[in-house]
Each structure stands twice: as C-alpha cells, then as structure tokens.
Structure 1
Amino acid sequence: MNIVLKSATILSPDDTSLHRKKRDILISKGTIEKIAAKIDVPKNVRAIDYDNLHVSTGWFDSGVGFGEPGYEERETIANGLNVAAASGFTDVLLNPNTNPTPDTSSDIIFLKERAKGFATNLHPIGNLTVGGKGQDLAELFDMQKAGAVAFYDFKHALSNPNLLKIALLYVQNFEGLVCSFPQNEQIKSHGNVNEGPVSTKLGMKGFPSLSEELQINSDLFVLEYTGGKLHIPTISSAKSVKLIVDAKKKGLDVTCSVALHNLFFTDDVLADFDPNFKVIPPLRSKNDQKALLKGLKDGTIDFVTTDHTPMDIEHKRVEFDNAAYGTLGLESAFGILNQLFSTDEAISLLTKGRERFGISVPKLKEGEKASITLFNPDVEKTLSEEDLRSTSKNSMFLGAPLKGSVYGVINNGILQE
C-alpha cells in the first residue's frame, strides 16, 4: 500500500510541531515515509484528497462486543472489525460475551487467529473466572501469554470478595490487569432501569446507583489490601466518580471507564419504553451525567468506551422487561464525543488508554508504522439505520444528531474506507 494523504490537518495535541498543521503524508508499505507541506505524488502511488481531511493516530476502544463464537447472528469478528475500522478505530478490546466464553489460552488463540488480516487490531479480554460464573479463577497466566490483555467477567461482578483478593494477588506475578464490573447483584435484583423519579413515574422496575457504589467500595477496599491493578468498566453515577477520586488520592492503581451513552442520554428518554435504551449500567439522572462529564474532563475517569454490544432483533424488539441489555456505539462514537467536547478533547479521549492494557502506542511520525484515523470534524448529520454497518441495528443513537464523520483508517498496511 503506497498512498499520499493530501492537505491533511494533523491533530496531535502531544506534538506541538505538527498539531493543527496542514501537511501531506506519504505512506509506503505501511510506514510513514515523509511528512511535509507539499509532496509530489510519485508514480504508482494513490493520492487521498478527502474534503476537509483531518488525521490523528488511530483510535482505541477499551470494550466492544461482537458475538462470534456462538452468537454470529449478532455480529461476526470479521464484520465487527470492519465496522470498527469504518468508525475510526485501529485497536479494540473484545469483551468476553461469547458462547463459549474465552477462559483458556486456546480460546484466546482462536480469537487472535480469527482477527488476522484486518485493518483494526483485536485484543481479547479473557474471563476472570471459569465460564464467567464467578466461582473458580480461569487460566489467567496462560491466557495472558496467549494474548489476553485483561481479565473480566463481562457485566458480572464477583460476589465473593475473597476471589477478587486472590485474583489481584495472583496477577501481580505477571503484571496482569483485573476488571470488576460495578454492580451488586442483590441490590440490583430484578431492576431494569435507574431507580428514581422516572422509574416511579413509568412504573418500571428500578435498581439504584447504590448497587454500583457498594460494589466499587468493596472492590477498592480489597485493592487497598492486596495491591495490584484494577480496572472498573462503565461507571455511571456521581458517587462512583467520588469513590474513584478518593481511591486515586490514596495512590491505588485503579482506572475506570464510562460508556458513551451514559454521557449523552439520561433516563428521561425512557418514556417511550424503547428497548434500545435498555443498557447496563442503566441510563441515570442528569446529576449523574454532569458528574461523569466533569470526571472525564478532570481526568478522574480514564477512558470512554462505546460499550458496543450488538444484539439480534429477537432479543431487542420485545417488551422492555424482556429485552436484552446493550446498544451499538462504534458508528456514533466520534459524532457524539465531538458534540460533547471540543474536537481536540474528543481526539484525546479516542486515542488514550492503550498503555493501561499493555498495548503499544502508535506515533504519527516519519519512520513509524502508520496507524492513522481519517475524519472530517465539521460535517453535521443525523444517524440513520443506513449508517449502521453492524449486522444488528440496536442503536439508541438512531435519530441523534452527530457532528463529524469518519473516512476510515490506515493500519497494518491496509487502507480501510
């Protein structure tokens, strides 16, 4: 692949020599060969001259779900990676929400093999416990050697704090990262949405943010005792943000993420009982939303994740109480973040996080392998079903206004448009 990106505005906040500069970029055999104000296009080299072309280092998502193996009707790995590339992501972490779930080294190897040859890199997360059942630790060391970047029972917290203690102690032998979903199952019980005025008004079964905060508090006490590295995915409440602030002040090695939809929507949208808005953790109050946005801006919350979870029509187009949890997020990520934050801030959020999971960080410099996202930050549109490349169409962002569009990515020597 030999191409020249023409008149590309480079967004690279960490490199003032290039940030906001308009440059031509020559890429030869997957490597950035030259960055200059003007590059004459050599023979047999394709010129890329998109409207209002902007580029940054490739984007990263710390938690997506596809389906394969077991739920290919929701999404295959191949199509999921193509969706990620078209959405601007060059690296994604794959949540262990398949059937069977990945709890052995051979499972991780299978996922890595299925993901070869694509523009987007797939980094599997292995189950923390066997089958994700929360009873016995899985083959953590062997899975990490096979390529797992973290260990997580998807959307299920460990009800046994002693098991978390053992896991955090054990993984310190090989610098492993434990993830713990912030939800106390007993407090959640049969709730489907945030417990509050909206759930009461609509007569819906609610579960309070207390379920999240109790679990986080317990997990942080264990972390303080054991040491080690803990990641808490998709926090959703104001008090959760405060708990993370206090933990970081103590010097605990903890990070957390927030789902894209919890930044953009509140539980006020539930009035129509649309199952696309059924997610876990649930959409919460305006006060929670404000705290999450503030936590991102001040660095308390480390990453934004799309929490992209394709779900087939049989599990979504049913009564709200019976619908499965989950929404798409990859296709709308940039258009939403570019509204909530400045473009520079949005790009910073989309490019951070790899170090936490031991993934090499790409650089937009001469001599480096090209890992680049191509986009236009100024286009305004409304998300329609035709914009969704995912096999499943369960996006709560349908009809939402987006600011910005993605042209594609260059990664692994592949231009994916």
Structure 2
Amino acid sequence: MTTVLIKNVTIIDPESPFHNQKVDLKIQDGKFIEIGNNLSKDNDTTEINIPDLHASQGWFDTSVSFGEPGYEDRETIANGLKTAALSGFTGVALQPNSHPVIDNQALVKFVLDKAQDQATSLYPIGSLTINSEGTDLAELYDMKNAGAIAFGDYQKAIQNANVQKIALQYVQDFDSLVISFCQDNSVKGKGIVHEGVTSTKLGLKGIPALAEALHVARNLYLLEYTGGKMHIPTISTQESVQLIKEAKAKGLNISCSVAVHNLIHNDMVLDNFDSRYKVLPPLRDEATRKVLIEAVLDGTIDCITSDHNPLDIEHKKLEFDLAKDGTIGLESAFGALLSILPLEVVISKLTAGKKVFGLSQHTINTDNKAEISLFTTVENWNFEKENILSKSKNSAFLGQKMKGRSIGIYNNGKPEINFSI
C-alpha cells in the first residue's frame, strides 16, 4: 500500500496524546507509523496538505439507507459508501429497508459482499421481524453470525408489546442490540407533521408528541423487565428526553440518537408545504428543538445520526401528504452540526455510535490502525444542489448555512479525499 503523509493537521481526539496539537501523520499499510512535525516523504508517498485541516477518530453514522437491493434507482451501496466517505464517515450502519427487506443471513452477506474494498465500512442492521411487518421475529441469530450488528425495523414501531419483550429476551443469548423505533400508531393516526400551532395553521393532520413518548415509556418498562440492551433511534420530543434520562439514572442499558434535521429545523419551515421537510419523526416546534440540543450537550442523547434516506423524485416531489418521509443527510451532517454545536461535541456525537453498537474504536497514535475523518472548521458556506453526492437529491438542507467541511477519510488502508474543495 502507498504511504500517505497528512501535513499540518490538528488532532481532535481526547483519547490521543496528540489531542489539540498540529502534527504530521504518516500512514503505511493502514497504520500510523509516525506522528510528529516536519515529517519527510519519499517518491512513493501521497501527500495531503490542506489549510485548516483537522482529524478525528472515524465518524460512524448509526442510520443510513441505500436502497440496494431493490431500490438502486434511489442509491447503490457503492455510491452510498463513496458519499459517506467524502462526507467524513468511516463506518455506517445500513438500515434493512431495501426490497427485499434484510431479514435473513443471505441478504446480510449480499450487502457485505457489495461493500467490499470500500474506504467506508458497512455494518448491516438486520430486520427485527420478518419483512419488517412487526409480527414474527426474523432469523436474528443467523443474521448475527453473518455480520449483522443490531436488529430493528426501520421507522416501524413494534406495536405488539409481547413481540418486543421476546426480542429483548432472545438477543441476550448472543449479546446483541435491539433498535426500537418509538411510535404508537393508534395515537399517530393519519398525522403527517408535528401537532401544534403550525399544523393547525396549515391545516395538516398532526402527530402528537404523545405518540412517541407513550411508546418510549412502554419500551423502557419492557427493558426494565427483560434486561438486555436497547437503542431508541431519532427521538424527537421533550417527553422522550425526560423518560430516557430517568431510565439511565435507574441503570438501564439504554441509548438513543437524534437526527441532524431535528436539531437544525423546526416545524415553521413547513410554511411552503415543501415535501423535502417531510420526515419521520416529524420536525417539532422550536422549544422542542432547543430541548433536543440541550440533551445532546448534557449527554442524555448518546449520538447524532444523519438518518440518511434517499428517495426518488416520484415518491418525494408530490403533494405534502402523499410524499414519502425522509431526507438525505450524509453530505450536510458535519457542516450543519458545526453551525449549532461546539466542535468537540460534534466529534463526540459522531463517533459515539461505535461504543453503542459494540464496534472497535481507534485512537490516533503510533502503531494504531488509521481510521480517521478529515475536515475543516472555519469556512462558512451554503449547502446547494452541487454539493449533493447522492443519486437522490431529496435534501432538507438546501440553502442551509454550513460551518466547516468534511474533506474525506482514511480507512481500510486507503484515502478517500475530496481534493476539489
């Protein structure tokens, strides 16, 4: 493998002896072989020297959708992983919402085979139930052995409490994690946006915060009864924050994430009925957005996800109530977050998912595996269509003010760098 020399890079890694220092990183055969100042290079060395360059441990996104197999028109695994790499992510957890749904070991192996030889590592999430229908548990143990890192039905809450209970009990036999999207469908009804002033003004059916909180409370009671590990993805309400905070104080093995768009936007962006902002859970009011940010800062929310969900124009550019829920978010995640949160908090929340999902973490130090994200921190810019790397263009961040940029990554023995920035 080619030697890579990254010059004048500021390290953001509290676990590294080089934290907050500007150094050179020399990488060979996928490992740091030398870290210091004024490191020399030979003719076989690839040099990376970019102003204001920073490096951290590799970022991990706990929720991405790529479409393949079945929805390759939305996104392929190959292009999705390249997009993730240039967006700064060395690893992504792939949701099972393809066609067919990833609910057996053959499909886990299929997506892992498709992800070979990429700089960004792919970690499949297996569907918790067959075809994500919420009725019968899928082949969880077989999928675990094939490489699945956790089990959950993407954006589908298990309405049957006994199925949820049995899942939490069963996966303890092989030390796995249940992902529990929380939404009481009977309370949600036909709601499509947050229930509040904006939904009333626009005449759109609302989703009460209660629909999420009720399910969070139920699932936490089940977790307390069964033991095991549970991750609640993309929480969006003040009540959920409080319930999870109390569960952690009790000592339950519970973690949670929030989506970037729920930290950046509130439901007032819906005034023009733009379906790019139709997401699930929905964008909430400003008071809730501020509570979510506070929960990130105080540690109640463990990690932040892009919840990247590419959708084709036929399913997204429709009347608001007919459009599918979802936005792409990999490309915009870092720049959007740095515009509202301190740098070290952003890095902490983009790397914390590895611990939640039981994956190896690699400190920036000599002789360690080189798995790093590269980024700048000072540039202010607006996210536009030409910044989208995904096949689908359904971004809720077009026109959004950004701070700093992802430059790329080094992982799996290779750099993936956007030198055009």
TM-score (norm: length of structure 1): 0.99
Distance 1:260 1:128 in 2: 25
Question: What does residue range 342-353 of structure 1 map to in structure 2 within 5 Å?
Answer: 342-353=342-353
> Which amino acid letter does the alignment assign opposite residue 372 of structure 2?
I
Question: Any idea what the Cα deviations from partners look like across 1:124-167, whole Å, max 9, x if unmatched?
Answer: 00000000001100011111111101100110111100011111
Tell me the equivalent position of 1:333. 333
Tell me the equivalent position of 2:405. 405
Aligned 8 A contact 1:89 1:373 in 2: yes
Distance 1:363 1:119 in 2: 18
Tell me the equivalent position of 1:297. 297
Tell me the equivalent position of 2:15. 14
Distance 2:370 2:130 in 1: 38
Deviation at 1:14, TM superposition (A): 2.6
Any runs of at least 4 consecutive aligned residues in structure 1 with deviations exceeding 2 A, and if so which? none
> Which amino acid letter does the alignment assign opposite residue 387 of structure 1?
N
Tell me the equivalent position of 1:5. 6
Aligned 8 A contact 2:15 2:363 in 1: no
Distance 1:246 1:350 in 2: 24
- Whether 1:415 and 2:412 are equivalent positions in the alignment is no
Tell me the equivalent position of 1:123. 123
Aligned 8 A contact 2:310 2:392 in 1: yes
Deviation at 1:84, TM superposition (A): 0.1
Distance 1:159 1:352 in 2: 29
Aligned 8 A contact 1:13 1:348 in 2: no
Name the SS of the counterpart of 2:98 in structure 1. coil
Question: Any idea what the Cα deviations from partners look like across 1:77-106, whole Å, max 9, x if unmatched?
Answer: 000000000000001000111000011111
Name the SS of the counterpart of 1:321 in structure 2. coil
Distance 1:47 1:153 in 2: 43
Aligned 8 A contact 1:96 1:124 in 2: yes
Tell me the equivalent position of 1:273. 273
Deviation at 1:211, TM superposition (A): 0.3
Distance 1:160 1:406 in 2: 42
Deviation at 1:24, TM superposition (A): 0.7
Distance 1:275 1:121 in 2: 31
Aligned length: 416
> Which amino acid letter does the alignment assign opposite residue 395 of structure 2?
S
Distance 1:311 1:135 in 2: 26
Distance 2:263 2:53 in 1: 27
Distance 1:347 1:180 in 2: 25
Deviation at 1:348, TM superposition (A): 1.4
Distance 1:30 1:260 in 2: 31
Name the SS of the counterpart of 1:391 in structure 2. coil
Tell me the equivalent position of 2:83. 83
Distance 1:181 1:372 in 2: 30
Deviation at 1:58, TM superposition (A): 1.1
Question: What does residue range 82-161 of structure 1 map to in structure 2 within 5 Å?
Answer: 82-161=82-161
> Which amino acid letter does the alignment assign opposite residue 289 of structure 1?
R
Question: What does residue range 241-390 of structure 1 map to in structure 2 within 5 Å?
Answer: 241-390=241-390
> Which amino acid letter does the alignment assign opposite residue 5 of structure 1?
I
Distance 2:62 2:347 in 1: 15
Distance 1:386 1:40 in 2: 36
Name the SS of the counterpart of 1:322 in structure 2. coil
Deviation at 1:42, TM superposition (A): 2.0
Distance 1:178 1:349 in 2: 20
Distance 2:409 2:287 in 1: 36
Distance 1:58 1:224 in 2: 33
Aligned 8 A contact 2:303 2:351 in 1: no
> Which amino acid letter does the alignment assign opposite residue 14 of structure 1?
E
Q: Which moved more, 1:396-405 or 1:245-254?
A: 245-254
Q: Once superposed, what is the RMSD of the aligned Cα atoms?
A: 0.8
Question: Any idea what the Cα deviations from partners look like across 1:219-264, whole Å, max 9, x if unmatched?
Answer: 1111111111111000000011000011111111111110000001
Distance 2:224 2:116 in 1: 39
Aligned 8 A contact 2:13 2:363 in 1: no
Q: Which moved more, 1:184-193 or 1:343-352?
A: 343-352
Distance 2:338 2:47 in 1: 27
> Which amino acid letter does the alignment assign opposite residue 5 of structure 2?
V
> Which amino acid letter does the alignment assign opposite residue 377 of structure 1?
T
> Which amino acid letter does the alignment assign opposite residue 84 of structure 1?
A
Distance 2:45 2:383 in 1: 34
Distance 2:57 2:355 in 1: 14
Distance 1:173 1:45 in 2: 48
> Which amino acid letter does the alignment assign opposite residue 184 of structure 1?
D
Name the SS of the counterpart of 1:35 in structure 2. strand
Aligned-pair identity (%): 48
Structure 2 unaligned runs (5+)?
none
Q: Which moved more, 1:43-52 or 1:129-138?
A: 43-52
